[in-house]
Amino acid sequence: MTRHDHQTIRAARVYLRVSTEEQDLARQEAIVAGARAAGYYVAAVYREKASGARPDRPELLRMVADLQPGEVVVAEKIDRISRLPLPEAELLVAAIRAKGARLAVPGIVDLSDLVADSAGVARIVLEAVQDMLLRLALQTARDDYETRRERQREGIAIARAAGRYTGRKADIAQHRRIVSLREAGISIARTAELAACSIAQVKRVTALHRAKAGIAPTHPVRPGQD
């Protein structure tokens, strides 16, 4: 393969995330087609239903582990990648960069090519500008998350004061998936991974299901067991 071939073949890994069962990953599927239309070879697509404020998203972690030098991470927006607090978000981006990869996300100004063609003070300035813009985007995504949560809390407080708050609706589809996985003999940890939820939630849903079904609780799980 010639040097020109290495330059023209651009590989991408596409990360698609929604927060709840009510949202649909299909809306983001056009991103895959868009990446191909932009000239990228799509090495893999990672689909996940989980909050962007969670650092333990299985598909996100799998994508980072799969990254190869020179690849790009494609997503609908930066908040699809992260709604984490800034220090944690920067660690995530650092992990992506450590693999020799970079972000290709709408709204993020990518100065990588300019940086590569620069040297000395110009390179330092461009790298600083790139880091500043990315940090700003990550912080904006987190601020938006915090604003949404604050509005939600205010709405709940108002509803409670008016006697109209009935509590958060259970995610029935996810609960059924958790129960099905556990009844199939899947471990707690693996169920949490497959259902894109926490281990604590798997335990809560399982206990609730057993209580409703009149099933006696199992013996407590010992350390190191599922």
d(CA 108, CA 93): 13
d(CA 16, CA 133): 22
pLDDT of residue 167: 57
| Structure confidence by residue, pLDDT tens digits, 112-169 | 655 555 566 665 665 566 677 788 888 887 888 788 777 877 776 777 777 775 655 6
| Structure confidence by residue, pLDDT tens digits, 59-83 | 999 999 999 999 999 998 898 898 9
Active-site pick, 19, 51, 118, 187: 19
Per-position b or e across 12-33, b if 16+ CB within 10 A of its CB: bbbbbbbbeeeeeeeebeebbe
Active-site residue 118, yes or no? no
Q: Are 192 and 198 in contact (CB under 8 A)?
A: yes
d(CA 52, CA 49): 9
- In the sheet with 40-49, reading across from the earlier edge strand, the strands are 40-49, 10-18, 72-74, 102-104
8 confidence band (pLDDT: 50, 70, 90): low
pLDDT of residue 68: 94
Structure tokens at 24: 């649909």
